[in-house]
A and B are shown apart, each in its own frame.
Chain A
């Protein structure tokens, strides 16, 4: 499954990284503490967060994540968008809160990284 498949199934709007939606998604990670995402996310994960700060792009890029989904309809900061385009990191927007979104992703067959 790719980021494109996720965006298509949920009708998510893509705000950045439109040319990078065909990365294979290896699993998911949900957290709003960037230090925690750095520590526990895995390469190819789709990341669910409400943080909109430009550092989310740097973290996604460093951890080679497949993309970021912002929850509750939050919009990325303008610097975040610019960086995401530069780094080729997809940013999608979901109107759902994290719990509902993660539940739906799980039902689609995207699982987490297991126990810490």
Chain B
């Protein structure tokens, strides 16, 4: 039996330097549930050190939380990588850490707070998470797939840090699972503007950096259960799974 799942799979926590300090597990999970979401993903810049805490907080309250990372490629393109297992997500994080130069300057970019499931600060990440990795975009897509993850190009309608902004067009044959479009572009506009990319599934997520942003943009999927593997099937129209509406 397939069911309708309301998902916001692009949310930053207090680990992202640009993420609000309020973006902690209990507060964020409560807000997501209040917005009627069935599933979210935590996707901080170049790190997944907070995802386990959010997954625990979600388990406690009954909200499905997927681990993810918004990776920055060497071309400064943002790619949303979402997984079912924390281990796979951490494997991607390890590769990123080997290829991410620099140290964060908190006064300039903001704090990178590591938290536990009770919203308590347990540490600080000192890497420059806002920076770019040394990894080519296509290589990241390929690694995400080898780890059973989903690879979605972030906010392609924006000029900054987007696949289309940085590279002008989508290179042929990149096996992306979907294209994320920001709330600035409506479904109708997207259909026209990105007509040449309609063989990819389009999704709308909030890219929330503050509590009030969560769920302001979401995508509804028809899935068997709330998992990344099911979302992947929906993005590729497999076994009756599909993207319902944004």
Contact = CB atoms under 8 A, between A and B. Distances in A.
Interface residues of A, number: 13
Interface of B: 75, 136-137, 159, 164-169, 171
Interface of A: 32-35, 37-38, 51, 53-55, 58-59, 77
8 contacts: A32-B166, A33-B159, A33-B165, A38-B168, A53-B136, A55-B167, A55-B169, A58-B169
Given A35-B159, A54-B171, A77 B136 contact: yes
Contacts of B159: 33, 35
A59 B159 CA distance: 17
Contacts of A32: 166
Contacts of A58: 168-169
A101 B112 CA distance: 37
A74 B240 CA distance: 47
B165 A35 contact: yes
A35 B143 CA distance: 26
Contact of B166 (A34, A54, A77): A34
Given A35-B159, A53-B136, A59-B168, 17 more contacts: A32-B166, A34-B166, A34-B167, A34-B168, A34-B169, A35-B166, A35-B167, A35-B168, A37-B168, A38-B168, A51-B166, A53-B75, A53-B167, A55-B167, A55-B168, A58-B168, A77-B136
Contacts of B75: 51, 53
